[in-house]
Amino acid sequence: MRTVEWHQNQVRMIDQKRIPWELALVDLPDFQAVAHAITDMTVRGAPAIGASAAFGMALAARQSNAETVAALLTDLQTAAQVLKDARPTAVNLAWAVDQMMKMAANGHYTHPDGVRDALLNEAQRIADADVAINQRMGANGAVLIQDGDTVLHHCNTGALATVDYGTALGVIRAAWESGKRFHVLLDETRPRLQGSRLSAWELEQLGISYDILPDTAAGYYMQKGEIKLVLVGADRITANGDVANKIGTYQIAVLAKENGIPFYSVAPTSTVDLSLATGAEIPIEERNKDEVLTPYGNPIVPPHFHARNPAFDVTPNRYLAGIVTENGIARPPFSDSLRRAVAGAQV
């Protein structure tokens, strides 16, 4: 089952807010609903968000009553901005929307129906490509895991974070499917608990050995010598190899460096933003404080208490041993290896 797909002229996706208690699907009839699903994290994970936005653009083209290509492009520009604003940090979202706009505006179409058909085909191509790319990343990164290892993972980067298969959890999955046997420690990943809710659910389905950890326990197991490797995803990677990822990633990277543990990010080249020189330029989304004070509607402190809720942090490139992409493992200096990976060269 894919995390997001086109179904009967709507966008169908797994409702990730209801996992692990229920595997439920939602059908979204318009691009506004897709944007809301991205904002409220019905769908999350940079590649999954990108594919969702692409299908959202295909929906927008069908919603429009435009009778000329020019009028349709105007409507699509409006939809593009709404979708891009849904979550600002993950570059895959903007990348996918821009791909769709480029397809719509390429001048090959004399009738809006031609644009509508082309956009749906392009969205489907983006979704299919994501699956193939994830499987290539999995194969590239599986060599990092050895029999008997304990691997630390943060947030959720599996099939749920992508169209299918996964990025960092895709590496774990590929290594397991190759016959290696190892153990995975999953940070719970507060405040939305993507590790304990989603990653644990996925590893349950795959039969992979795991334990959930409080976010604050990673350093303890590093210091004991249990953790041999850290794998995380990415929501945006800058030209120098700085990585924006789920909040808490930076502190794990620092602890890994202190304890001599290799730390890798796993992400498709669509997550690499060569237009940004360093991580200092990445916009960091700050979400509603209620996610901290009343997670999933369950108050843990009085509602008038104060809180801050950054969704991501930035890990400087000096903490990374490498970045696993579909074109191989990019290693320092990242300014060179990432540029080659994005250009399609093997690294």
Active-site residues: which are they?
235
Cβ-based neighbours of 171, under 8 Å, separated by 6 or more? 137, 138, 140, 141, 142, 144, 145, 231, 266, 324
Q: In Å, what is the CA distance from 268 to each residue of 95, 135, 141, 210, 231?
A: 12, 11, 12, 25, 14
Cβ-based neighbours of 302, under 8 Å, separated by 6 or more? none
Residue among 252, 271, 267 nearest 319 (CA): 252
Could you give the CA distance from residue 54 to residue 41 in angstroms, rounded to a whole number?
Answer: 16
Q: Which two tokens stand for residue 86?
A: 């849904």
Tell me the backbone φ, ψ of residue 249, rounded to 5 degrees: -65, -45
Could you give the CA distance from residue 335 to residue 312 in angstroms, rounded to a whole number?
Answer: 22
| Angle, helix 31-39 to helix 69-84, in steps of 10 degrees | 10
Could you give the CA distance from residue 20 to residue 278 in angstroms, rounded to a whole number?
Answer: 36
